[in-house]
Each structure stands twice: as C-alpha cells, then as structure tokens.
Amino acid sequence: MSLGWWRQWRRKRILATRAIPDALWQATLEQYPFLAGRRADERARLRELATLFLAAKEFSGAGGLVVTDAMAVAISAQACLPVLELGLQRYDGFVGIVVHADPVLARREHADDIGVVHEYDEELSGEAMHGGPVMLAWSDVADAGTTSAEAYNVVVHEFAHVLDMHGGLTEGAHEHRRDGARGAWLQALVDEYDAFCVGLIRRDESLLDPYAGEAVEEFFAVAAEAFFVAPRALQIERPKLYNLLREVFRQDPALTLA
Ligand SMILES: [Zn+2]
C-alpha cells in the first residue's frame, strides 16, 4: 500500500464528499472575472484544487471575524491559481490562513546607512512567512474583482511568495554572482527587475505597482498578480517577463483573458 494510493484515495473521497456547492462556486466566479474568464477545463480543475485546499488548510478569523464559506471559497480559488498546473503539494509547507477584516498595522524597524534605527508603521494587506500562516485582509480580497483592472490581487501576491519560498525561485537573486551562476531563468528575471527599477527612477508609467522595486522577490509577487488578473496588459508591457512567468507557472492566461 503506497502513499500514492492513499493520497489518491483521500483526494477522491474529498472531491466526492466535500465538493464546493454549485451555487457557491458560481457566485465566486461571478465576483472575480479573472477566474470566470479562464477556459472551462481550467475552471473545473481550479474547483477541484480549491476543494482540496479547503480540506487541507485551516482558516481562522482575527479579532472576532467570522470566516464564512463564501470567504473561504473566494480565498481558496484565488490561492490555487498559481498552482493550477503545478499541484497543491507546492503549498504543503503551511496550514494556517488568518483573515483580518482590514489591513493590519505592523510596527517595523529599519536601520539606516549610519546605523540609526527608525521605527514606523507599515499597513499590511497580506503577509506570507516561511512555514507560518498566511495573513490576508478580507477588505482587499473582497475588492479583487474590481482592483484586477489595476493588476492588484493580494491573494495571488501572498501565494506567489509561498510558492517562491517553497521552490526557491528567487533564491540567490541578491547575491553578487558571476555571469551564469544564477541560472538562465533567474538571471532573466533579475534583468527584468533591473529594467523595472531604471523605469522607476525615470518615472515611467507601468502596470506594476512601484512596490515591485523593493526587491526581486517582491517584483516576482507583484508581476504574478498582473500575470493572473491582467495578463494581456502585462504581455503587452513586458513580453519577456510574461514569458518567464508563463514558463514557471506553466499557464498562458492571456490566451483567454483580457
Ligand atoms: Zn510581498
């Protein structure tokens, strides 16, 4: 009796007994056009993955927030987009999802170049930590249907980080390396990041939020948002970056989405 058999059996049982109800799934699609606009076979697979995701992860509300079925399905469906072709095991490294009603203020410290420590509050719509829970602000998740026009999606952003932390996609991006040491994919991503940062200084218009200039891993997560919710716009603005993401996610959302 192999683990493969057990996994398969468990998967079938969850899909048969705990499938997301039709009405709830349809309501979720209607709210998020970047889900509704995917091919029928992709939507069907996404529904299966979201069902398995719901069974495997633990949702909790912070500050008395009650996480309803509709909220959990909305989060699961968007969270599963990046792993649609990669498989749910990419998310095995964490279990908890903590949902806040609104963005959270986090106290941050930053030491400047001369060693002076500055304290400030950062407003977080989401956060992903290594092995820890994923935090999301429901207000941002709920708005994702309309903010997709600005290529913004907090769920995709945080789960792109989870995928990156688990798979080490951007690992080594900040180390000073000889040409070729990074691998072709990461080097190409770093080149796109460097070009984006030059554009930021020139104040070029971009679909990508300036926050993408913070670090390569943020660039990857912000670009993933655009890739999944405004793919054609990203493909037009940064075709090389689009192709890098198409390669890593093994999907081509611009084929069916605006
Ligand atoms: Zn981030």
CA dist., res. 28 & res. 77, Å (int): 8
CATH dotted code for 168-258: 3.40.390
Query: What is residue 221's predicted lDDT score, i.e. its pLDDT?
Result: 98
pLDDT at 3 over 80: no
pLDDT at 252 over 90: yes
- pLDDT, tens only, 39-74: 999 999 999 999 999 999 999 999 999 999 999 999
Q: Write down the domain spans for the chain.
A: 1-145, 168-258
Ligand 1 centroid distance, CA of 130 (Å): 13
Residues with CB under 5 A from ligand 1 (ion): 218, 221
Ligand 1 centroid distance, CA of 120 (Å): 18
Over residues 95-113, the mean pLDDT reads 91
115-129, 130-144, 210-224: range with lowest mean pLDDT: 115-129
Ligand 1 centroid distance, CA of 2 (Å): 38
Domain 1-145 has CATH 1.10.472.150: yes
Query: What is residue 60's predicted lDDT score, i.e. its pLDDT?
Result: 97
Ligand 1 centroid distance, CA of 133 (Å): 14
Query: What is residue 15's predicted lDDT score, i.e. its pLDDT?
Result: 87
Ligand 1 centroid distance, CA of 114 (Å): 26
Ligand 1 centroid distance, CA of 153 (Å): 11
Ligand 1 centroid distance, CA of 10 (Å): 33
pTM: 0.91
Measured CA to CA in angstroms, residue 166 lies from 3, 68, 92, 248 at distances of 21, 28, 9, 14
DSSP string, 80-138: HGGGTTT-GGGGTT--EEEEESS-EEEEEEEE-TTS-EEEEEEEESEEE-TTS-EEEEH
